[in-house]
Amino acid sequence: MQLSLTQPSSWILLLLLVMNLFLWKNVASVPMCAMRNARCFTFFEDTFELAGSLSHNISGEVSELFTEFYEALLKSGHMILNAWESPLENLVRELSATENVPDTIISKATNIKTKINAVQKGVNSLMSSMLQNGDEEKNNPAWSRLPLLQPGNEDARIRSFYGMISCLDNDFKKVDIYLNVLKCYMLKIDNC
């Protein structure tokens, strides 16, 4: 039997043929896969593969950042404590040698010095257990700029005590924050 375009079945056949041509044309112009490492990756595989390896890398980088941040806190605390060691000794000695300084102030300063030495020992042992190269920041120039006690008359000494104690106050607020954050991290305490 001869097919004629007047017959409905002929139209369907022609339509199928044209659609097929269209499909093949699209297949030929868009590659179905990307070759990598002698493997064919489809568009979705490729996207998942790239996004997956990138997010894996980011996750690794974030945990490195996290660890480095706490190491930096510990090192900063350590640096502040070391930098204050001898200025604090001077402060206590000078306060004791200055007339009209109440005993309560001298004993408070002595007490603070003793406690700071204890914190220093604790931080040193944290440093040696948490870090391999803990001593590298010992002489950081940033912390060699502590105010010095000025010799001179009583007014100058009072001013210099004031400068030093307010600097001590600032620095130990920092140490307090660093050590608290580290404690929360190391002991995995939530909401602190």
Ligand X SMILES: *[C@@H]1O[C@H](CO)[C@@H](O)[C@H](O)[C@H]1NC(C)=O
User: Residues interacting with ligand X, by CB under 6 A?
Assistant: 57, 60-61, 64
Compare residues 52 and 60 and give the one whose CB is closer to ligand X: 60
Q: How far is the CB of 68 from ligand X (least distance, A)?
A: 12
Compare residues 31 and 60 and give the one whose CB is closer to ligand X: 60
d(CA 73, CA 177): 9
Close Cβ partners of 6 (under 8 Å, ≥ 6 residues apart):
none
Q: How far is the CB of 54 from ligand X (least distance, A)?
A: 9
* Cβ atoms within 10 Å, residue 41: 16
Compare residues 53 and 114 and give the one whose CB is closer to ligand X: 53
Q: How far is the CB of 53 from ligand X (least distance, A)?
A: 9
Compare residues 46 and 137 and give the one whose CB is closer to ligand X: 46
Q: At what angle do helices 154-186 and 103-130 cross, to 10 degrees?
A: 40
CB 162 within 8 A of CB 95: no
Q: How far is the CB of 71 from ligand X (least distance, A)?
A: 16
Compare residues 61 and 136 and give the one whose CB is closer to ligand X: 61
Could you tell me which of 116, 70, 76, 68 has the C-alpha nearest to residue 92?
116
Could you tell me which of 171, 23, 14 has the C-alpha nearest to residue 91?
171
DSSP state of 7: S
Q: How far is the CB of 34 from ligand X (least distance, A)?
A: 20
Which residue lies nearest ligand X, judged by its C-beta?
60
Q: How far is the CB of 43 from ligand X (least distance, A)?
A: 23
Compare residues 61 and 85 and give the one whose CB is closer to ligand X: 61
Sign of the four-CA dihedral 105, 106, 109, 115: negative
Sign of the four-CA dihedral 161, 96, 76, 181: negative
